[in-house]
Amino acid sequence: MIPFAHKPVMLEECMDGLALKDGGVYFDGTVGGGGHSYEILKRSGAKSRLIATDLDENAIAAAGQRLREFSGRYRIYKSNYKEYERVLEEDGTDKLDGVLLDFGVSSFQLDEVTRGFSYKQDAPLDMRMDICAGLTAETVVNEYSQERLAEIIDRYGEERFAKKIAANIVRARCKGRIERTSQLKQIIEESIPIKFRQNGPCERKTFQAIRIEVNDELGGLEEAVRGLALRLKKGGRICILTFHSLEDRIVKNVFRDLATDCICDKSLPICVCGRRKEVELITKKPITASEAETRENSRAKSAKLRIAERV
């Protein structure tokens, strides 16, 4: 097994966005290799504390090693960040001073061949963030109906040739089970006209779509973002890093809704709706990685950071 490595994206922007303070309680819902968590604990002072979650056992082990100098100031739970209510209850924590969610797939997960996340290497079709989970990419590819495959590839991958790809997957699996990433990659390539294969790797969107389905990445995302924002103390910050438009759209809409004040007709003399905004938008538009960072880390190119503050 290769060492767990994950270069945190927009590290300085995230730390600035959290407005860290000594004595604060912070939640890192996607701890990964512990890069962001380490800096939160390092920069926020000796009285601060961190609660973290992740589904990947390798990530949790690596983060534990990374954070060992802060023993007693953090706890990592093997859990989805969407289960934050259970985690916070178990931790005995009610309100938070900061929340960080980084939705990027780690370099380790992409590069470890056996995980099957990447179309760049031949590997078993797996794609599970949690290796104990039941659903794999192989199951999706071989057992979902053609219609459902097309819907997933279209919705989660925003792939214009979703129907053709789904039809060719079903045709190919009639000859034998599709078990390897290389098999799926070939099917996708043969489904896309040559002139459209020049706009970056043509497999990327379909692999992304299947990964999202396997890990239910968008299910409950809106509710979790809203709930975590409302768990913040007054002045607490929530910072969210997204890496594709579907996630970013959900985060943007939740933040915008929470930042909306009275919605009464302006002709009314007084407010009758009783609505009050819950957060202030710190970023009207998302922050993107600098040119210097994207040169060093190509995976930062698609990242968007949105920040809101509890009022």
pLDDT tens readout for residues 55-110: 988 889 999 999 999 999 999 999 999 999 999 999 999 999 999 999 987 666 66
* pLDDT confidence band for 5 (50 / 70 / 90): low
pLDDT at residue 164 greater than cutoff 90: yes
pLDDT at residue 1 greater than cutoff 50: no
Domains of the chain (ranges; CATH) run 11-103+221-310 (3.40.50.150), 109-215 (1.10.150.170)
pLDDT at residue 2 greater than cutoff 50: no
* pLDDT confidence band for 174 (50 / 70 / 90): very high
Q: What is the three-state SS of the chain?
A: CCCCCCCCCCHHHHHHHHCCCCCCEEEECCCCCCHHHHHHHHHCCCCCEEEEEECCHHHHHHHHHHCHHHCCCEEEEECCHHHHHHHHHHHCCCCEEEEEEECCCCHHHHHCHHHCCCCCCCCECCCCCCCCCCCCHHHHHHHCCHHHHHHHHHHHHCCCCHHHHHHHHHHHHCCCCCCEHHHHHHHHHHHCCHHHCCCCCCCHHHHHHHHHHHHCCCCCHHHHHHHHHHCEEEEEEEEEEECCHHHHHHHHHHHHHHCCCCCCCCCCCCCCCCCCCCEEECCCCCECCCHHHHHHCHHHCCCEEEEEEEC
